[in-house]
Copies of this chain bind each other. A is one copy, B any other.
Amino acid sequence: MTADDSSERRVLDEMLCFSMYAASRATTQAYRRLLQPWGLTYPQYLVLVELWSRGPLSVRELGDDLALDSGTLSPLLRRMDAAGILTRRREQNDGRVVTVALTARGLALRNEMSSVPAELGRCMGVDLPAARAMVEDLRRLTDTVNRANLAAAS
């Protein structure tokens, strides 16, 4: 690796981080607009998508899927509960576990909001093969970074 490569690396690595940071905020912004009619935020929508596809889940399972901890999920789920979208019930057989389940209203949202993914896809303007490739790259990068974070924590 030449000295030029080495210095371009540094700049590019920081640009890559910033690009992901900026892209994530821009798409969250798009979601904010699309979800506004239902008064939902993007992470709340993610919870909905998980419950639609997987059925009732514990807070821990939700957190594993979305990479969010109880410090984020507890108040978020409380708000969605207050909005009548889901219920939280402590399990009988294991009093530590709280199971999150959609209400009829939460289930009904699946049809009401069926056009959201397509609308969002239009906003991004990425064709199918490119989207596949980006998802693959981002996943690999996320896995690598998470492993580095875990290794450094121990």
Contacts and interface: CB of A to CB of B under 8 A. Distances in A.
Tally of this chain's copies: 2
Given A9-B118, A9-B121, A118-B10, A19 B149 contact: no
Chain A residues touching B, range: 35 or more
Contact of A13 (B8, B14, B124): B124
A139 B19 contact: yes
B148 A19 contact: no
Chain A contact surface mostly: helix
A51 interface: no
Interface of A: 5, 8-31, 33, 42, 46, 49, 67, 117-118, 120-126, 128, 130-135, 137-142, 144-146, 148-149, 152-153
